[in-house]
Amino acid sequence: MAFTEPVLTKRIPTDPAQRHVVLFDEYVATGGYASLRKSLEMTPADIVKLVTDSGLRGRGGAGFSAGQKWSFIPKDKKGHHYLAVNADESEPGTFKDRYLMDYDPHLMLEGIAICALATQVDTCYIFIRGEFHRQAKVLEKAVKEAYEHGIFGPGGIFGSSHKLECYVHRGAGAYICGEETGLLEALEGKRGWPRNKPPFPAIAGAFSRPTVINNVETLCLVPPIIEKGAAWFKSMGTPSSPGPKLYGMSGHVNRPGIYEDELGITLDYAINKLSGGMKGGAYKAAICGGISMGVLGTNQLDIKLDFDDVRFRGGCLGLGTAGMIVMNEHTDMVRALRNCVRFYSHESCGQCTPCREGSAWMLKILNRIVDGGGRAKDIDMLMELEKTMGIMPGTTICGLADGTAWVTRTFINKFYDEFAAVCPEEPARGVPLNIIHRGQFNPQIPMGSNTR
């Protein structure tokens, strides 16, 4: 059986005019919290095994097995266990979690409660992005309803012996807090700097206690798995990437928005069938899962949007969040890369020198290229910089530098001619060789001087 009907969005009408927040009574009337009651009759080990057998992979970007992550939590409980829900969603082009929290918040709360049963969690913190003002209010109301109906609170989940507290914790809008250990630092009231690992969060996470960290969409898929089983879930998607997925389509498409389908659909299908085809010109490129994953080229419309094909054949880091930014034939890829690198340079937390300095110098070089002062060796310099920063070369703590490097690598490799055209062997007349531009609205800064 392939994908035949909505799973995550079954309570969210496709017509925007008919959408509304699904509150507790409506959620229960449409089958909500039945999976939670079923989970109360299962052992924690049985819940973890079912989620593991389903093949559910995290929908936050990395695609790691959700059940396996749960299994890392110590079985012999000797104190508090925590659940941190990553609702930060600050990856450019990504807006699926906001969509779920906007209209069906109890689906996530049910997933939270089931996860708590499986991993013996006592306290859950929903770490929500600071700019999500409306979503925070919707969540607060849904959490209050859950307390009133015996899901959270000192009385135990539906009167059981398992007590669970749940809090909405608002971030301050820092991209780096989407990284799980940066999120934990911010949750504890500290600067959102990622931590060295080990120890891993499953052993020493929030407040140095065992902690599960899951994405919103991941938790929303747990109740359907409990209800219908692992075989049902694996009937959708591909063998290595089973289940349904939310695709966020934006950019040069006729119908931007959130669409649900199974994992493994092609990029061509996502553009032409889900979002109504290209707008303003023919297809040229697509950022497949937030800009951290890199860019797919003009000849890659047949790529399957799952956790493996995008990585192996597409030359990207992976599917990521499936936040698609589609670009037509008129897009200037040099300026597009400059926008991506400008974002990373601004959002780097500054803890690791290769990321802090590398992203800043990449931006200066790209600003100079865009301003007309590009040189052939600038391309080599950009490629040299991207090879020396990130977790994969082993020079940084978190993956922000890898995102910077990968987007630079894929843009230049797949659209080299565009970069070569603006980086000639001889510099443009009138542009001094020793000048780095910070952009057309900023003063010229001599290379080598302290510009930070």
Each residue's pLDDT tens digit, 378-404: 999 999 999 999 998 899 999 999 999
Determine contact, residues 112/219, Cβ cutoff 8 Å. yes
Average pLDDT, integer, range 145-174:
95
Place 427 in a pLDDT band, splitting at 50, 70 and 90. low
Task: Please say whether the beta carbons of 190 and 177 come within 8 A.
Answer: no
Q: What is the pLDDT of residue 450?
A: 35
Name the one residue in this structure whose structure tokens are 């922000």.
Answer: 400
pLDDT of residue 272: 96
What does the pLDDT read at residue 98? 96
User: Which residue would you say has higher pLDDT here, 415 or 446?
Assistant: 415
Nearest to 288 by CA among 255, 7, 313: 313
**Cα–Cα dist 226/37, whole Å:** 10
Report pLDDT for 61.
83
Closest by CA to 146, choosing from 133, 130, 171, 164, is: 164
Which pLDDT value is given to residue 430?
Answer: 61
pTM of the model: 0.91
> pLDDT for 253-277, tens place per residue?
999 999 999 999 999 999 999 999 9
Rg (CA), the chain: 23
In the 3-class helix/strand/coil scheme, how is the chain assigned residue by residue? CCCCCCCCCCCCCCCHHHCCCCCHHHHHHCCCCHHHHHHCCCCHHHHHHHHHHHCCECCCCCCCEHHHHHHCCCCCCCCCCEEEEEECCCCCCCCHHHHHHHHCHHHHHHHHHHHHHHHCCCEEEEEECCCCHHHHHHHHHHHHHHHHCCCCECCCHHHCCCCEEEEEEECCCCHHHHCHHHHHHHHCCCCCCCCCCCCCHHHHCHHHCCEEEEEHHHHHCHHHHHHHCHHHHHCCECCCCECEEEEEEEECECCCEEEEEECCCEHHHHHHHHCCCECCCCEEEEECCCHHHCEECCCCCCCECCCCHHHHCCCCCCCCCCEEEEEECCCCHHHHHHHHHHHHHHHCCCCCHHHHHHHHHHHHHHHHHHHHHCCHHHHHHHHHHHCCCCCCCCCCCCCHHHHHHHHHHHHHHHCHHHHHHCCCCCCCCCCCCCEECCCCCCCCEECCCCCC
> What average pLDDT score do residues 365-388 get?
94
- pLDDT exceeds cutoff 60 at 445: no
Q: Is the pLDDT of residue 448 over 70?
A: no
- Residue 3 pLDDT level (bands cut at 50, 70, 90): confident
Structure tokens at 50: 């079912």
Q: Residue 149 and residue 134: Cα distance in Å, rounded?
A: 23
Closest to 395 measured CA to CA, from 294, 202, 404, 190: 404
Q: Tell me if 100 sits within 8 A of 107, measured CB to CB.
A: yes
Say if residue 452's pLDDT is above 50: no
Average pLDDT of 150-172? 95
Q: Give the whole-number percent of the chain exceeding pLDDT 70.
A: 94
Antiparallel, parallel or unpaired: β 435-436 and 323-328: unpaired
Both structure tokens of 340: 């991506």
What pLDDT, in 10s, does the model give residues 177-236? 999 999 999 999 999 999 999 999 999 999 999 999 999 999 999 999 999 999 999 999
N residues, the chain: 452
Query: What is the pLDDT averaged over residues 78-91?
Result: 94
Confidence band for 63, pLDDT divided at 50, 70 and 90 = confident
Residue 372 corresponds to which tokens in the numbers above?
């007309």
Q: What is the mean pLDDT of residues 45-55?
A: 97
Q: Which residues of 369-393 are buried (b: 16+ CB within 10 A; e: fewer)?
A: bbbebbbeebbeebeebbeebbeee
Average pLDDT on 318-324 reads 92
Mean pLDDT of the chain: 92
At 86-142, the pLDDT tens digits run 999 999 999 999 999 999 999 999 999 999 999 999 999 999 999 999 999 999 999
| CB burial string 4-42: b at 16+ within 10 A, e below | eeebbbebbeeeeeeeebbebeebeeeebbebbeebbeb
Do 51 and 66 meet the contact criterion of CB atoms below 8 Å apart? Answer: yes
